[in-house]
Amino acid sequence: MSDIGLYLHFPFCVRKCAYCDFLSFPATEEVKRIYAAALIREIRGYARAAKGHTVSTVFLGGGTPSIMPARQMKAIFQALYDSFEILPGAEITMEMNPGTVNESNLTFVFDHVNRVSLGAQSGNDAELLALGRIHTRRDVERSVQLLKDSGVKNLNLDLMLGIPGQTAEEWRSTLRWAIDLKPEHISAYSLQVEDGTEFRRLQKAGKLHLPDEDTEREMAALTVEMLEGSGYRQYEFSNYAKEGFLCRHNVRYWKRGDYLGLGLGASSLFEGSRWHNTRNLEHYFEHSSDPGQIVREMEQLDRRTEIEEAMFLGLRMSEGIEDAEFEARYGLSVFSLYGEIIERQIAEGVLLREGNRIFLSPRGIEVSNVVLADYLLD
């Protein structure tokens, strides 16, 4: 039986953040209830396709899954277990935002979830306000304590660097604060200003004052230095984990493992095809019981695309790409396909080789966009 992952999208949030371009929006309790019922229908609609597959990772993302009513979430999980063979010990992650952690969803977490990703973003209240977050530094601290007290033993903190007005010293302070909270995993993402966001509007109006490139480089260096110095191993560009606490679901993405995306707008990569669900809420409500009716932009991936993606994603990970694994999957050696590029990049100091494994150097990570572009096949 082949192994897959599941991603469940919950598009609701208390308030849209200024930087957010995800498919998310505020909703009434009635809309959340209708959505849960539609999601259950979609889950059950995949029961036949799920035969012959086991599930070892489940990720509940959003939006803010933790604002969904616990009763509906329990019904969703019942449908998952009825429709899919979820393995004992499967990693089940739920995104939660500080300020939405309460007794109701803590009970649900205790019963169904073994990993929580908490959207802290910053330990500085002024920065949180600038981001449009609904919580404070103290809310994060309370949420971490509540989660640990409820039995969560695998906690990730999401952090963001490059926030408007942020200095390197303020980022150092946030990192020290996060380390002191003792999560098992820390994700440290650089802010990207995306189209359609409040930040993009402010940027166009000349009112968004971001750190300069030198400050961002200093922040990136601080991240590696402080987190690795505190026992967190960098295993992907933006992700650091204590021993044994890598996010198995995200590793699946970077290694191009199969996953099904369930819910409004969710993306899938399954049996050589990629697609996403409709982003139209009314259409999703009406047709979710027939997954084929909600699929959009299905693409059968050719071998060239698969190889290019394997290079782009595999080199994001600290372990890089191992030739035997690459050859077993694609039928040829990475060195026969990209030999000249690999030798040149090693000479340039942006790529390293240990035996039959290649991976980016610290300098290569800094200029990764340029380095990875070399692996596009003509």
Q: Encode pLDDT of 243-287 as tens digits.
A: 999 999 999 999 999 999 999 999 999 999 999 999 999 999 999
Query: How many other β-carbons are positioned within 10 Å of the β-carbon of residue 308?
Result: 16
Are residues 248 and 332 both part of a single domain? no
Q: What whole-number distance in Å separates Cα of residue 314 and Cα of residue 256?
A: 9
**pLDDT average, residue stretch 176-185:** 98
| 93, amino acid identity | T
The CATH number linked to 114 is: 3.80.30.20
Phi, psi of 308 (to 5 degrees): -60, -45
Identify the CA nearest to 285 among candidates 277, 296, 276, 297.
277
Q: Where residue 311 falls among pLDDT bands split at 50, 70, 90?
A: very high
In a domain, 327, yes or no: yes
Are residues 241 and 350 both part of a single domain? no
Q: What whole-number distance in Å separates Cα of residue 42 and Cα of residue 84?
A: 12
Please state the domain count of the chain: 2
In a domain, 149, yes or no: yes
Are residues 24 and 118 both part of a single domain? yes
What is the span of the domain harbouring residue 154?
2-254
Are residues 116 and 226 both part of a single domain? yes
Q: What is the pTM of this model?
A: 0.96
129, 165, 205, 208 from 202: Cα distances, Å: 15, 13, 5, 5
In a domain, 175, yes or no: yes
Are residues 230 and 342 both part of a single domain? no
Are residues 226 and 354 both part of a single domain? no
In a domain, 315, yes or no: no
Checking if the pLDDT of 1 tops 80, the result is no
Are residues 200 and 341 both part of a single domain? no
Are residues 99 and 212 both part of a single domain? yes
In a domain, 292, yes or no: no
Query: How many other β-carbons are positioned within 10 Å of the β-carbon of residue 284?
Result: 23
Please give the pLDDT value at position 279: 97
Are residues 15 and 119 both part of a single domain? yes
Query: How many other β-carbons are positioned within 10 Å of the β-carbon of residue 334?
Result: 25
Phi, psi of 243 (to 5 degrees): -55, 125
Model pLDDT for residues 314-356, shown as the tens digit of each residue: 999 999 999 999 999 999 999 999 999 999 999 999 999 999 9
Checking if the pLDDT of 378 tops 90, the result is no
Q: Which of 225, 254, 283 lies at the terminal end of a domain, its last residue?
A: 254
Please give the pLDDT value at position 66: 93
Range with lowest mean pLDDT among 64-68, 102-106, 258-262, 275-279: 102-106
Q: Which of 217, 232, 254 lies at the terminal end of a domain, its last residue?
A: 254
Distance of CA 8 to the CA centre of its chain: 12
The Cα diameter of the chain in Å comes to: 60
**pLDDT average, residue stretch 131-142:** 96
Identify the CA nearest to 182 among candidates 216, 114, 125, 232.
232
Identify the CA nearest to 106 among candidates 149, 139, 141.
149
Model pLDDT for residues 35-56, shown as the tens digit of each residue: 999 999 999 999 988 889 999 9
Are residues 175 and 72 both part of a single domain? yes
* 36 close to 76: Cβ distance less than 8 angstroms: yes
Query: How many CA atoms lie less than 13 Å away from 239 in the CB half-sphere?
Result: 20
In a domain, 138, yes or no: yes
Q: What whole-number distance in Å separates Cα of residue 378 and Cα of residue 372?
A: 14
Checking if the pLDDT of 108 tops 90, the result is no
Are residues 332 and 203 both part of a single domain? no
Identify the CA nearest to 346 among candidates 356, 361, 335.
361
Are residues 92 and 199 both part of a single domain? yes
Q: Which of 207, 222, 254 lies at the terminal end of a domain, its last residue?
A: 254
